[in-house]
């Protein structure tokens, strides 16, 4: 191979040398106005172009040298004062050159001047030249020759308004000429494919692509001809060009030329000739990348549509979308071996087109999706990941365009396309949908839309057949489920009836999620229902009778069922929290037995399911805190529950936790409200009990570790004494407080080997508080006065 390149360089150098050599003598002849000599040396020079040893690139270099020289020759020819021969005679004279290639180059050169002289109609000279060039059938040589012809004739075509237009010469003649040159060039170009041995096919294709612009140039010229209006393009130019494109049956040429047509001619023309242009597509060779061609066409048309609003009616008038849609259908049908990814890419392009041009035509969008569904149905199982990617692109496009999931939800074929995705991609798409909703802050407000949405994301909501749950990455799974949980809050309607429907639909779908999913989704659902309840409460006064179907009780029943499902997980801690939330909500609705029932459930969970000591501490505090706020209970119920709460508080594992829980219980007997319970005695009982526990803790610590225990507990209890003292609990006396302070001081001093700076500071700030209250004056000051420090 290296040898080949080296040889080529050598030949090129030789060729250039030959040209230069003859050019030198040609110049001498020109300077001395010697026509005969000029013709001789120019012919010799042009003979260098007869070589068949050079690749197109190298030949081009040689050609350009000759071209430059020919320009100088043309100047000479033009000035007949220099050589004294008329152009007509000159035209005849050059035909005596020995070899055909030099002869034709010279003929074209003279022909150019001939046309300029107007001594003969342009069309006749052009016709003569274009036919004479037939004499050269070697592809590379012929292509460059005709390229030269095209070049020099460019400005001499009988276009409208050109000086060459006349009675005999019309723009039709110009068009004919260019078309013929184009046709011949294409034939030569295609012929290259069949030259030489098969194994150098790749090299040949590369060489061919180097020459493609020579052929394409003709189309360019056609587009520049003024006289080629829509009418002429439609009736003459396009049909003839397409005829050549289809008949040449060469995939390289077909691909290049189709694309060239699309790029070179104006978009308005394409719109008006859409059927013809598209009609060629199924007739192309199966190996032609027709989808790229069509994509580029649709791209151009989309840009055209969005360039100005006036253009849009045209699109509608020519029924652009349906023509494109049909064409794509025909192409897919015709090219049986086209892989799935090809077909789907076409649909993506078509969808992009309609989203840009006719965004309001949702029926178009649905149609494209429907066509895709049909295609996917014919494939037993789609495993190509590239094809999958394209399907995701197809489904994402409407989401991005409309920024509003609700629009996508109206597309009947959308879920059907999703059904054809494999499990992994389906879930990916479901996440894309959810993210779109979150990003746009969309709200889905009707039950039927929610139903459609949850059908779409069913891959996330439940285990689908064939899914291997163990394979799921934990992080990914969490992310998925948290997304679903967040999604639930985007479903909302002002109307309680509709909102209840929505909640029921969500419940229906999420309840089959299985124990792994429930902990994520149940909370969102519960709070959604609690919000509805509050909405209902707010509207209480306004509704008259019609809302009989919707009562708080109904919602509480629903809540119970939802929370009960957590027992399958099991998730007792979460369930307990949710039951307490419901109890508070029942309190707000003033329904005592429901509130009591929720407390019962919470206690049952505490008793039977929550064994972890840390979890118990939090749980009991939540129970106490909630109970403290309940005002719906009658004496009996309240007593039962507080008794249970204090009992469990005292039975926590660690003494310190017991102590704290018990003094927290003291608040169960004192509610600052007007009607709140204010049982001073039981408060004191709790505090004393807490003290006993703290003492026991102290003693245990002494025995076990030889040093003091948590003095802080005593200070905490002291603070509670002060709290209730201030609130007016007569059972708590200032002497009791004083006594407690002394006791604490003693404890702290006796444990001087292990000073507890935190407890010290706490005591100090507590005493500061007492001082501060004393100095307040008035009722408060009087009260605190009795505490001697």
Partner 1 sequence: MVLVLAIGDLHIPHRAPDLPPKFKSMLVPGKIQHIICTGNLCIKEVHDYFKTLCPDLHITRGEYDEDSRYPENKTLTIGQFKLGTIGQFKLGICHGHQVIPWGDLDSLAMVQRQLDVDILVTGHTHQFKAYKHEGGVVINPGSATGAYSSFTYDVNPSFVLMDIDGLRVVVYVYELIDGEVKVDKIDFKKTATAPSAH
**Which listed range, 12-20, 326-334, 737-745, 760-768, lies at the site for partner 1 (CB under 8 A)?**
760-768
Q: Does 412 bind partner 1 (CB under 8 A)?
A: no
Residue 783 is a binding residue for partner 1 (CB under 8 A) = no
Minimum CB–partner distance for residue 761 and partner 1 (Å): 5
Whole-angstrom distance, CA of residue 329 vs CA of residue 260: 23
Tell me the C-alpha distance between 222 and 227, whole Å. 9
Stretch of 234-242, 347-355, 462-470, 755-763 lying at the interface with partner 1 (CB under 8 A): 755-763
Q: How far is the CB of 352 from partner 1 (least distance, A)?
A: 29
d(CA 26, CA 29): 5
Residues between 493 and 532 with contacts to partner 1, criterion CB under 8 A: 520, 523-524, 527, 530-531
Bridge partners, 491 (sequence order): 444
Residue 85 — φ and ψ, nearest 5°?
Answer: -110, 140
Site membership for partner 1, residue 769 (CB under 8 A): yes
Rounded least distance, CB 489 to partner 1, Å = 4
With 0-12 CB in 10 A as exposed, 13-18 as middle and 19+ as buried, what is 571? Answer: buried
Residue with Cβ nearer partner 1 (24 or 772): 772
Could you tell me the smallest distance in angstroms from the CB atom of residue 667 to partner 1? 5
Q: Are 277 and 238 in contact (CB under 8 A)?
A: yes
Q: How many residues bind partner 1 (CB under 8 A)?
A: 55
Q: Which is nearer to partner 1, 57 or 768 (CB)?
A: 768
Q: 3-class secondary structure for 206-249?
A: HHHHHHHHHHHHHHHHHHHCCCCCHHHHHHHHHHHHHHHHHHCC
Q: Verify binding: residue 628, partner 1, rule CB under 8 A.
A: yes
Could you say whether residue 629 binds partner 1 (CB under 8 A)?
Answer: yes
Supply the minimum distance, in Å, between the C-beta of residue 225 and partner 1.
57
Calpha distance 560→575 (Å, rounded): 10
Asked if residues 132 and 101 have their Cβ atoms less than 8 Å apart, the reply is no
The answer to whether residue 719 forms part of the interface with partner 1 (CB under 8 A) is yes
**Whether 666 contacts 724, CB under 8 Å:** yes
The answer to whether 486 contacts partner 1 (rule: CB under 8 A) is yes
680 binds partner 1 (CB under 8 A): no
CA angle, residues 181, 182, 183, in degrees to nearest 5: 95
Rounded CA-CA distance 41/28 in Å is 10
Q: Binding string to partner 1 for residues 538 to 577, with x set by CB under 8 A, is what?
A: ---------------------------------------x
Instruction: Supply the minimum distance, in Å, between the C-beta of residue 659 and partner 1.
Output: 14
Residue 742 CB, nearest distance to partner 1 (Å)?
Answer: 19
Using CB atoms within 10 Å of the CB of residue 379, give its burial: 0 to 12 exposed, 13 to 18 middle, 19+ buried.
Answer: middle
CB 619 within 8 A of CB 573: yes
Q: Output 262 or 627, the one with its CB closest to partner 1.
A: 627
**Nearest-angstrom CA–CA distance, 632 and 284:** 83
Q: What is the four-CA torsion angle of 62, 67, 69, 73, rounded to 10 degrees?
A: 150
For 165: left if phi > 0, alpha if psi spans -120 to 50, otherwise beta; the answer is beta
Binding mask 648-667 for partner 1 (x = CB under 8 A): ----------------x--x
- Which of 765, 781, 785, 786 touches partner 1 by CB under 8 A? 765
CB of 33 or CB of 766, closer to partner 1: 766
Is residue 461 involved in binding partner 1 (CB under 8 A)? no
Tell whether residue 686 is a contact of partner 1 (CB under 8 A).
no
CB-wise, 172 or 780, nearer to partner 1?
780
Smallest CA-to-CA distance from 185 within 159, 147, 226, 229 is with 147
Which DSSP symbol is given to 420?
T
**8 A C-beta contact, residue 325 and residue 350:** yes
Q: Which of residues 583-622 bind partner 1 (CB under 8 A)?
A: 584-585, 588, 614, 618, 621-622
Q: Which of 189, 304, 598, 762 binds partner 1 (CB under 8 A)?
A: 762
d(CA 138, CA 129): 17
Q: State the residues that interact with partner 1 by CB under 8 A.
A: 438, 441, 478-479, 482-483, 485-487, 489-490, 520, 523-524, 527, 530-531, 534, 577, 581, 584-585, 588, 614, 618, 621-622, 624-626, 628-629, 664, 667, 671-672, 712, 715-716, 719-720, 723, 726, 757-758, 760-762, 764-766, 768-769, 772-773
């Amino acid at each position: 191979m290296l040898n080949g390149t080296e040889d080529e360089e050598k030949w090129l150098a030789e060729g250039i040398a030959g040209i230069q050599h003859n050019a030198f003598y040609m110049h001498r002849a020109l300077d001395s106005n010697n026509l005969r000599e000029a013709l001789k040396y120019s012919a010799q020079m042009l003979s260098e172009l007869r070589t068949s040893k050079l690749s197109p690139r190298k030949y081009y270099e040689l050609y350009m040298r000759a071209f430059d020289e020919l320009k100088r020759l043309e100047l000479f020819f033009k000035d007949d004062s220099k050589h004294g021969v008329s152009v007509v005679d000159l035209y005849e004279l050059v035909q005596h050159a020995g070899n055909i290639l030099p002869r034709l180059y010279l003929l074209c050169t003279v022909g150019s001047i001939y046309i300029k002289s107007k001594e003969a109609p342009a069309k006749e000279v052009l016709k003569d030249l274009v036919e004479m060039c037939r004499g050269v059938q070697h592809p590379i040589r012929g292509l460059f020759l005709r390229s030269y012809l095209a070049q020099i004739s460019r400005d001499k075509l009988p276009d409208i308004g050109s000086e060459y237009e006349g009675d005999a010469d019309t723009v039709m003649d110009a068009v004919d000429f260019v078309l013929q040159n184009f046709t011949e060039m294409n034939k030569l170009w295609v012929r290259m494919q069949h030259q030489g041995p098969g194994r150098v096919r790749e090299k040949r294709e590369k060489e061919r692509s180097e020459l493609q612009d020579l052929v394409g140039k003709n189309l360019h010229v056609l587009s520049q001809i003024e006289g080629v209006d829509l009418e002429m393009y439609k009736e003459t130019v396009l049909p003839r060009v397409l005829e050549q494109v289809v008949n040449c049956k060469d995939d390289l040429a077909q691909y290049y030329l189709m694309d060239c047509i699309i790029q070179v001619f104006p978009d308005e023309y394409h719109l008006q000739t859409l059927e013809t242009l598209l009609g060629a597509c199924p007739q192309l060779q199966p190996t032609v990348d027709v989808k790229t061609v069509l994509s580029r066409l649709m791209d151009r048309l989309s840009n055209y549509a969005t360039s100005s609003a006036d253009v849009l009616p045209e699109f509608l008038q020519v029924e652009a979308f349906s023509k494109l849609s049909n064409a794509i259908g025909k192409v897919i049908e015709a090219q049986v071996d086209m892989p799935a990814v090809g077909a789907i890419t076409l649909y993506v392009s078509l969808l992009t087109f309609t989203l840009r041009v006719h965004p309001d035509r949702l029926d178009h969008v649905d149609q494209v999706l429907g066509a895709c569904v049909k295609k996917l149905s014919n494939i037993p199982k789609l495993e190509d990941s590239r094809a999958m990617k394209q399907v995701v692109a197809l489904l994402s496009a409407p989401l991005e365009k409309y920024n509003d999931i609700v629009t996508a939800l109206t597309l009947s074929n959308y879920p059907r396309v999703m059904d054809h995705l494999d499990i992994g991609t389906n879930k990916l798409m479901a996440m894309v949908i959810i993210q779109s909703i979150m990003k746009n802050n969309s709200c889905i407000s009707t039950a039927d839309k929610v139903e459609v949405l949850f059908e779409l994301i069913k891959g996330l909501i439940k285990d689908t057949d064939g899914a291997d749950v163990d394979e799921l990455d934990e992080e990914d799974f969490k992310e998925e489920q948290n997304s679903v949980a967040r999604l639930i809050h985007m479903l909302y309607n002002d109307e309680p009836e509709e909102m209840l429907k929505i909640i029921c639909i969500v419940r229906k779908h999420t309840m089959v999620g299985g124990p792994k999913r429930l902990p994520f989704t149940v909370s969102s659902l519960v709070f959604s229902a609690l919000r509805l309840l509050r909405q209902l409460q707010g509207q209480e006064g306004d509704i008259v009778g019609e809302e009989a179907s919707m009562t708080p009780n109904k919602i509480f029943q629903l809540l119970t069922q939802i929370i009960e499902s957590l027992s399958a997980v099991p998730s007792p801690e979460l369930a307990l929290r949710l039951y307490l939330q419901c109890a508070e909500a029942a309190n707000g609705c003033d329904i005592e037995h429901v509130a009591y029932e929720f407390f019962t459930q919470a206690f049952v969970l505490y008793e039977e399911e929550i064994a972890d000591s840390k979890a118990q501490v939090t749980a009991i505090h939540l129970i106490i805190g909630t109970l403290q706020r309940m005002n719906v209970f009658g004496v009996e119920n309240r007593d039962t529950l507080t008794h249970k709460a204090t009992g469990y508080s005292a039975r926590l594992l660690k003494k310190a936790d017991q102590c704290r829980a018990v003094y927290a219980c003291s608040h169960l007997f004192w509610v600052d409200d007007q009607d709140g319970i204010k049982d001073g005695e039981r408060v004191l009982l709790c505090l004393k009990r807490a003290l006993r526990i703290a003492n026991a803790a102290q003693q245990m610590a002494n025995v076990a570790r030889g040093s003091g225990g948590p003095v802080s507990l005593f200070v905490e209890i002291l603070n509670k004494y002060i709290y209730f003292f201030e609130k007016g609990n007569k059972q708590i006396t200032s002497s009791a407080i004083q006594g407690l302070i002394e006791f604490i001081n003693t404890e702290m001093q006796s444990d001087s080997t292990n000073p507890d700076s935190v407890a010290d500071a706490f005591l100090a700030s507590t005493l500061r508080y007492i001082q501060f209250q004393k100095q307040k004056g008035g009722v408060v000051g009087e009260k605190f006065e009795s505490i001697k420090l």
